Structure 1
Amino acid sequence: MYDTKTDKQLKAYEGLQDKNWQRLIHNLKRYFDSWAHHTIKNYWGNMKISYMPVICNISVDGSTVAELARTTLIPKQNMSRTIAELEKNGMIVSRPNSGDKRSEILELTHKGKQMMLKANNDIFKMSKIYKTLVGEKDLEIAVRVLNTIMDYHESLAAKNNPQ
């Protein structure tokens, strides 16, 4: 069954796939995950690449689970398995939070710091490739634009979930 008006509208969108944010973000994430699997996974060991957002956001001075939930957009309740695996693999340790007895501070171990140093070096090597590919100015613009868009979505989330 064909609806010519709807079909024409959909055809118009098909011609805009290179501007479709959902497609762009999804594919870029898939490409980056594939790159990480082949590059970072070499020294990441038997852990899941999905743990990367958590460990990447642990500050050198330590981070609380609430801070990690906010920066990774992963609910606190969903992080417990990842944190347990990172601890089991010797990447992080937890210590009591002197400022809030109800929470803990997660810190990178020496092994975790060494792994993150290698990962960051590889990530910034990829950034150099991007810079060569699109030019320094365009890369800076892309990063600024993406951060502005993320800030917008964070402000929407804050309005919809006031704490």
Structure 2
Amino acid sequence: MKFNKKIILPLAALAAVAIILTAVTAALLTTQTQIPATGTIEPTHSPSPTTLPQPITSINVEIYTDAATTTPLTSLSWGTLSAGATVSRTIYIKNSGTTAETLNMTTTQWNPAAASSVLTLTWNKEASTLDAGAVVPATLTLQVAANPDSVTNFSMNIVITGTA
């Protein structure tokens, strides 16, 4: 069998190009997935005997219906309100932690969502400091807009936070 020398060289070049293109295509189709990882490495040495243990600090805010802090507040009823009305409720906040806390109030989970635009909840203890073991009365005030649109029933969560 005779080979034509004029055809062999172009066929060899074509085969080389095909092999290179196959390798390049395979490289282009490769994907990578990165998995972030975190961890903690514990020290291998013991603390120095001169290191004194730090006091444990805890924060905890409890809410009650009474000044004697015998009845925890689990829900709050605002009753039936009229357009433009303002109603207040007194609650009692106890810091059962071991350090002073700064108080903050927010609301979440308004139902219906439109209620958050026609009702305004405020209180008289925002950014107040409550010492460890202390109990303080707090007044929550709910104001209804003059035109509450179609909101007839509502619910929300009142979140009171203590930050050390």
**Common fold: TM-score over 0.5:** no
Q: Which has the higher strand share?
A: 2
Range class of TM-score, shorter chain:
under 0.3
Larger-gyration structure (1/2): 2
Indicate the structure whose relative CO is greater, using CA pairs within 8 Å and at least 6 residues apart: 2
With normalisation by structure 1, the TM-score equals 0.17
With normalisation by structure 2, the TM-score equals 0.17
Q: Which has the higher helix share?
A: 1
